[in-house]
Amino acid sequence: MTTSRTRFNQSWLIESPEGMSHTQTHSTLTYNINDLKKSGVEVKNTINPKVKKIELTDHVYYWIQDSDGTIQLAVELTKKPDNLTVNLTGKNELLTGKSPYADELYQTILNDSGKPMLFSDAKLTDSGKKIWKRLVQSGRTVTVYDNENSGQSRQTITSPEDLDKFWKMNDPTYQRWQYVLSESGEMTHNIIATFNTRRARELCGMGTEDYVPENTSKSFRNLINLLKDE
């Protein structure tokens, strides 16, 4: 049985963004989606008529395409217990600064999936930071937390300028900051409750792992395993 400790670790404790120069991922995502379509995977509609998706057991792809079926903007996500973790986002370079915008696609994903989105890429482009600022301006909730001290560091971004405190070009120390996009209301309230439980465990020394640490003596680990079997 998966406990709340394991569920938290699986959902929220992963790599996080760091500033970097622009990287083209559109061609990679286009290839992945088209390859899946050729293999016979079903393409589904979403609540937004412009957005299509492919949903697999562990991954899901969302994209916006033009009238000819050419993919303009796409996202690959991994399914986690409490969120969808973004692996790649790519846009046709010819459409830079033009519609469609990532903001619209992210909003559709939130509404369609009913889950918050965790951005796990260890790199965050300057254009990516601008997207986050627009999302805050539009009324979305952005949660930021330190990957090394998650429960006690969680905070909600209330203004676009606040994002500057958690991002810096080519500085690996900023990898510890995680970004979560969610709808205001119940979706965000669930995030707050989950992180407050984690905070209580950190402050009270209740333990944040279910497994026996590697540095525990072999005899003690054997005793734990025997007790589990009884």
Strands (E), 69-123: 71-79, 84-91, 117-119
Q: What is the pLDDT of residue 185?
A: 85
Q: Which residue has the higher pLDDT, 122 or 195?
A: 195
User: What is the per-residue pLDDT across 182-221, written as a single tens digit (0 to 9) for each?
Assistant: 988 899 899 999 999 989 988 887 666 655 455 444 544 5
Q: Does residue 56 contact residue 33 with C-beta atoms inside 8 Å?
A: no
Helix (H, G, I), strand (E, B) or coil at 27: helix
Helix (H, G, I), strand (E, B) or coil at 154: coil
| Backbone torsions φ then ψ of 89, nearest 5 degrees | -130, 130
Q: What is the pLDDT of residue 62?
A: 98
Q: What is the pLDDT of residue 220?
A: 42
Domain of residue 148 covers 4-229
Unique residue bearing structure tokens 């301006």 = 137
Give the tokens for residue 46: 């979403």
Q: Which residue has the higher pLDDT, 169 or 224?
A: 169
Side chain identity, residue 6: T
User: What is the per-residue pLDDT across 123-139, written as a single tens digit (0 to 9) for each?
Assistant: 566 777 788 888 888 88
* Count of Cβ atoms closer than 10 Å to residue 159 Cβ: 9
Give the tokens for residue 152: 């006690």
Give the tokens for residue 18: 């760091």
Give percent of the chain with pLDDT exceeding 70.
76
Structurally, the chain folds into a number of domains equal to 1
User: In sequence order, which residues have a C-beta less than 8 Å from that of residue 36 and are 6 or more positions away?
Assistant: 54, 56, 61
Q: What is the pLDDT of residue 2?
A: 65
